[in-house]
Amino acid sequence: MREFFVEKISNLKTVFGYDDTLSNKENISLLSKKLLIQKLTENGLSFDVHISREEKGKPFFTHNPNIHFSISNTTDYIAVIVSENRVGIDIEHLRKYNETLVKRFFNPTEIEYLRGIKPSEQDKAFTQLWTIKESYVKKTGTGISGNFIQNNLTPPVKSYTEELSYNTLSSHIHSFYLPTHQLFISIAE
């Protein structure tokens, strides 16, 4: 079993409601959990969905650790992946190439890759690589403060491409771009 879902937050607010007494961040978290539970139920899975966290914050089902999941959100979308194996997902809107972030969070091989991309595609390549790295650290549970810079997740291509699928660091990476929404989604399995 491996399934992922991307839903517009405004649609989820209509389906599940919105609690004005909570912060936007708390509401997004609640909507994400409700979406996850809804999709599990639709797939015939029924169990105690209490969620705990690993030492560095990766969430897991306390009473069913054999079902893994990952959640990500942008300003207007939530992405969820469910699998029998550890997974990570990240979703981002197109972001501007940011040299300061690149120097802070990317390793030398990744920096070299990004600098080799045509300027007209640099924003896309930067956003794509960011989502790849985020999905990987979500899978491993190390988080952005862990080994984000140390992992070389450079795509095995010399130029930006809208869809990538490759193996690295004992993970399979799949990354794709949805041009109609300017969304990048990356999955690490």
b/e string for 133-172 if b means 16 or more Cβ within 10 A? Answer: bbbbbbbbbbeeeeebeebebbbeeeebeeebeeebeebe
pLDDT at 103: 92
Over residues 85-112, the mean pLDDT reads 94
Question: Is domain 91-188 classified as CATH 3.30.710.10?
Answer: no
Q: How far is CA 88 from CA 11, 48, 70, 111, 145, in A?
A: 23, 22, 5, 23, 16
Q: What percent of the chain is modeled with pLDDT above 70?
A: 98
Alpha carbon 139 to its chain's center: 9
pLDDT score for 128: 97
The answer to whether the CB of 105 falls within 8 A of the CB of 147 is: no
Residue 181 pLDDT class (50, 70, 90 cuts) = confident
CB-count burial class (<10 Å; 0-12, 13-18, 19+) for 37? middle
Strand extents, DSSP E, 29-170: 51-53, 59-61, 68-73, 77-83, 88-93, 163-168
Quick check: 109 and 150 in contact, CB under 8 A? Answer: no
As assigned by CATH, the class of the 2-84 domain is: alpha beta
pLDDT digits (tens, 9 = 90+) for 47-97: 788 899 998 889 999 998 899 999 999 999 999 999 999 999 999 999 999
Query: CATH 3.90.470.20 residue ranges in the chain?
Result: 2-84, 91-188
At residue 146, the pLDDT reads: 60
pLDDT number for residue 152: 84
Q: What integer pLDDT is reported at residue 143 of this predicted model?
A: 73
Q: If residue 111 lies in a helix (H) or strand (E), which one and from where to where?
A: helix 108-115
Segment holding 110, helix H or strand E: helix 108-115
Residue 145 confidence (pLDDT)? 66
User: pLDDT band at residue 12, thresholds of 50, 70 and 90?
Assistant: very high
Task: Please give the DSSP secondary-structure letter assigned to residue 103.
Answer: H
Return mean pLDDT, the chain: 92
Region of 66 on the Ramachandran plot (φ > 0 left; ψ -120 to 50 alpha; else beta) = alpha
> Distance between CA 188 and CA 182 in Å, rounded?
20
Residue pair 138/147 in contact by the 8 Å Cβ criterion:
no
